[in-house]
Chain A
Amino acid sequence: MAELRTGSGPVLLLLLLLLVSVGSAIHDAVSGTNGTNVDPHHQSNSSGTKKPFPVLSFNYDHVRMPFEISLWILLALLMKLGFHIIPRVSHVVPESCLLIVVGLLVGGFIKAIGEEAPILDSKLFFLYLLPPIILDAGYFLPIRAFTENMGTILVFAVVGTLWNSFFIGGMMYGVCQIESAQLGAVDLLSCLHFGCIISAVDPVAVLAVFEEIHIHELLYILVFGESLLNDAVTVVLYHLFEEFSHAGTVTVGDAFLGVICFFVVSLGGIMVGAIYGLLGAFTSRFTSHTRVIEPLFVFLYSYMAYLSAEVFHLSGIMSLIACGVMMRPYVEANISHKSYTTIKYFLKMWSSVSETLIFIFLGVSTVAGPHAWNWTFVIFTVIICLVSRVLGVIGLTYVINKFRIVKLTKKDQFIVAYGGLRGAIAFSLGFLLTNSQVKHMFLTAIITVIFFTVFVQGMTIRPLVELLAVKRKKESKRSINEEIHTQFLDHLLTGIEGICGHYGHHHWKDKLNRFNKTYVKRWLIAGDRSTEPQLISFYNKLEMKQAIMLVESGSGAKLPTTVSAISMQNVQPKEAPRQRVIPTISKSREQEIRKILRANLQNTRQRLRSYSRHDLMIDPFEDNMSEIRFRRQKVEMQRRMSHYLTVPANRQETPPVRKVCFEPEHQVYNYDAIAIESPRGRDSRPTPSSPNDVSLLNESPQKPNQSSTTRAAGDVELRVKTEDEQEEQDQLKLSRCLSDPGPNQEGEGGSSFRS
């Protein structure tokens, strides 16, 4: 798997295998002894019976458990790191495959040295490894796409899984009847049980593969939504068949109870999740003084939702999803920006670790577990799984398309069918089987199907997607125009439905929104944010993002694509009063933006060789900027500053710069100097020579004495007085961002160097 040309891969692998074997060896060595004291350096001879003081002792048992866990996690992450260093392999083969292979290798290695390889314990899987992945998926679920396709997703999840289970179970029973296969011991119930385990599409595997191929959102949400919602069906069927196999006989009453059970499990799970979600949202309303623990509330409430659902054998996955979905809009309105980032990153981190561990453990368990290989059974399982999936998707799509506005094309159907991957959930469920007779055979078959889907389907789906020219995900960011029109369209369609007298999808959505706004938001969102309409919050978020991006791009990040060479003056009618209108954002939001900017700017102080409004965009910041170079620049700049001091600042002859790149040397000056000088008022602030060279926008030469007189140092005033026609929207944003006392680059030419 690792190319020999790049030496890091195999070295890494070897190192890790070494680590693991050391771990196991250590474990083995001290398994019998407790608290062994070894003092190799002790030389002195003690007097009589007194034991010498142990200088160096060895006690592995003490830390064994956390040590091994950490070692495993470290191994997983180092592997993940290794794959991304080797670009070629990771482009062809999805990460999940590579991780399974690593697991296989590690398992083989452990077995080779005679150790007992750890198996993917079901409890470990369901209680610790699965929830982070599901929470991550549920919290960031694209709600709009999900609810619009809810009907389709439900049909695929429920009916599709039922079809799969019974078809596979039935066909396998038929296969078992074949004389030559020697499978007579397998009865119908066991087959059905097996069918329901293997039929469920696995969210972990789907996420792992689909995340890398970037297909159209509709397809992604269909397959992924199906994998999430089929958990209820799987849970019910699994327990049903388990009970039946113990009881021995099945009556119609039992089947009827099974149906009731399904509704209880799914709706109960959702309800539990919703309750916890609302609790979490309500709690977040009061966390304005303890921002640090805000993320913890989100995680803990969600985890509790999952565990509570599992207590009653309700669908834990649906509970978790419901909790995340319910909580998110309110929590996001309440928590600080940093907490939001923390939540995002922690969820991504945990789900990433979990996923990696799951796949590695799958590989290890494959090597470790007892296998009972039966050619007929396994081969037929694989084939029948595929056939069943294809038939199911085609049949269901035919029915669904009658009710859909946007029909599913053949290409879509193919991707949905091909994306039905099985994964670790099937394995863990199989592992929980109690009937040991057929358990090993089933496990082997399950593992084979998992390997087949993950390897064959996972690897080939990307070239197939490209071959079939399936629509890819739209890369562009959501623009304000699209947001405006989305809202407009919502209202329009609701209105038209009202005119038609047809109470459709939009009507109910509108009613729900209004209910949400009038009652729910007031309870769950703190302060005045509860009345903020979606368009405004979207706009504010956009502004904040752009502000942060502008600041960070001073350290070399890429330009935001929305910034262009068009300025507000091109758009605004000339006759209109030149008022600089700035939306009033609330004080707290202001504070937040300012804090973020200040933090960022302060951080960049050490790194930046210069901060000027002018090379905000162009400075190709190198990370390994050496200190010496920095100092050299400082010296150089100071020289220039002294030069500027003697020259009138009114350099109007420089033509307006259209491009965003230009010579940095002329405008370089030290951020430090500015920060130091700012308390002395803006007069002494060094300004670049050509006030025209505003990088962002097409500005015409500015009047020399433009001054934002409200921008005294330390002033937190956001509103700037009426200026002339050159105030562009972006400069507006920029100035708003930069009103933070600090790099106040409102160098509209006027302020000259007057020391």
Chain B
Amino acid sequence: MGALQSAPGQPEYTDLAEKTGCPRFSPCVFSVSFEQIAVLHKRFKQLSHNEETLRRDHFEKIPDLACNPIRAQIIGAFFDKRNYRQNGEGSVEEIGFEEFLVVMSHFRPPSMHFTEEQREGIRREKLRFLFNMHDTDNDGTITLEEYRHVVEELLSRSGALGKETAKSIADAAMLEVASISMGHMEPDEFYEGITFEHFLKLLDGFEIESKMNIRFLNMDTATMCK
């Protein structure tokens, strides 16, 4: 690949940098830089208590996650093979640093020098991540039940508001998606669920590439690859 920064003593990171760098469209111009990889590796070792792999219970021990309403989904996302950019499916029980890094790299911001096409690629990638988080049964659509589950989880920390409110909110949201995507349906047609294309259309104006970023991964990188 192209010009990679050669940091002394970190040959194993070049490999990793390649793996995290390329979105579906080529050429990729951004990958996680070496400083970031080093920091994340340190964190990985901290979380896994110096073991080689992370398991779910390691995540569950993180105190900051304890009061997060969608904790289970976040943890699940790390173990979801669909997020590893290898077109896999299903989930695993433990992950290595490589997978950890790949999942984290979903949260990098688009560089200012990206073209429109690359921005679009980044957008799709982030929205794909979100989609995978919602679509728990891996069938490629978010059904009403899954969406209801999402809303319930969001409201789960908010006390006893009952499943009914969550249901109606999810119903209203689903109706909205259907109206936006399908426009018009026969009364006997059935809207199966939100496909990825509908999801893209739904969150079209959401500007996710500016929102779904972790500042920590913001460091501008000079690593380019062809």
A→B interface (CB under 8 Å): 401-402, 405-407, 409, 474, 476, 479-482, 484-485, 487-489, 491-502, 504-505, 507, 514, 531-533, 535-536, 539, 542, 562, 564-574, 581-584, 656, 658, 698-700, 729-730
Contact = CB atoms under 8 A, between A and B. Distances in A.
A567 B187 contact: yes
Contact of B178 (A479, A499, A532, A570): A570
Contacts of B176: 479-481, 562
Interface residues of B, number: 69
B171 A729 contact: yes
A501 B206 CA distance: 27
Interface stretch (B7-15, B24-32, B208-216): B208-216
Given A406-B210, A496-B104, A500-B40, A566 B184 contact: yes
Contact of A493 (B43, B64, B71, B214): B214
A499 B106 CA distance: 14
B36 to A, nearest CB: 10
Contacts of A656: 187
Contacts of B169: 480, 484, 535-536, 539, 583
Contacts of A500: 40, 43, 104, 214, 216
B168 A495 contact: no
B218 interface: yes
B188 A498 contact: no
A239 B81 CA distance: 64
Given A493-B212, A584-B162, A501 B178 contact: no
Contacts of B196: none
Contacts of A481: 173, 176-177, 202-203
Contacts of B64: 494-495, 497-499, 507
B154 A535 contact: yes
A491 B67 CA distance: 10
Contacts of B177: 481
22 contacts: A405-B218, A480-B176, A482-B203, A489-B130, A489-B211, A493-B214, A495-B71, A498-B65, A500-B43, A500-B216, A536-B165, A536-B169, A566-B182, A566-B184, A570-B187, A570-B190, A570-B191, A571-B175, A572-B144, A583-B168, A584-B165, A658-B184
B1 to A, nearest CB: 26
B200 interface: no
A584 B169 CA distance: 12
B203 A583 contact: no
A533 B155 contact: yes
Contacts of B210: 405-406
Given A494-B68, A514-B67, A729-B175, 6 more contacts: A482-B203, A497-B214, A500-B104, A536-B161, A573-B144, A582-B168
B215 A504 contact: yes
Contacts of B37: none
Contacts of A498: 62, 64-65, 68
Contacts of A535: 151, 154-155, 169
- The 3 A-B pairs of least Cβ separation, nearest first, read A498-B64, A533-B158, A564-B179
B225 interface: no
Nearest to A573: B144
A658 B183 CA distance: 12
B57 interface: no
A535 B206 CA distance: 17
B46 A570 contact: no
Contact of B46 (A496, A501, A569): A501
Interface in B127-182: 130, 133, 143-145, 150-151, 154-155, 158-159, 161-162, 164-165, 167-169, 171-179, 182
Interface of B: 40, 43, 46-47, 59, 62, 64-65, 67-71, 74, 104, 107, 109, 112, 130, 133, 143-145, 150-151, 154-155, 158-159, 161-162, 164-165, 167-169, 171-179, 182-191, 202-203, 205-206, 208, 210-216, 218, 220
Contacts of A401: 112
Contacts of A542: 172
Of the candidates A481, A535, A574, the one having the most CB atoms from chain B within 10 angstroms of its own CB is A481
Contact of A488 (B67, B154, B184, B185): B154
Contacts of A406: 109, 210
Given A568-B175, A573-B190, A583 B164 contact: yes
B183 A496 contact: no
Given A406-B109, A407-B112, A488-B150, A566 B191 contact: yes
A626 B173 CA distance: 42
B13 to A, nearest CB: 18
B191 A571 contact: yes
A617 to B, nearest CB: 15
B142 to A, nearest CB: 11
A583 B161 CA distance: 9
Nearest to B113: A407
A91 B199 CA distance: 38
Determine which residue in A568, A571, A573, A698 has the highest number of CB atoms from chain B within 10 A of its CB, and name it.
A571
A496 B214 contact: yes
Given A481-B177, A566-B175, A656-B187, A495 B68 contact: yes
A486 to B, nearest CB: 8
A502 B179 CA distance: 40
Nearest to A514: B67
B70 A584 contact: no
Contacts of B59: 499
A661 B178 CA distance: 22
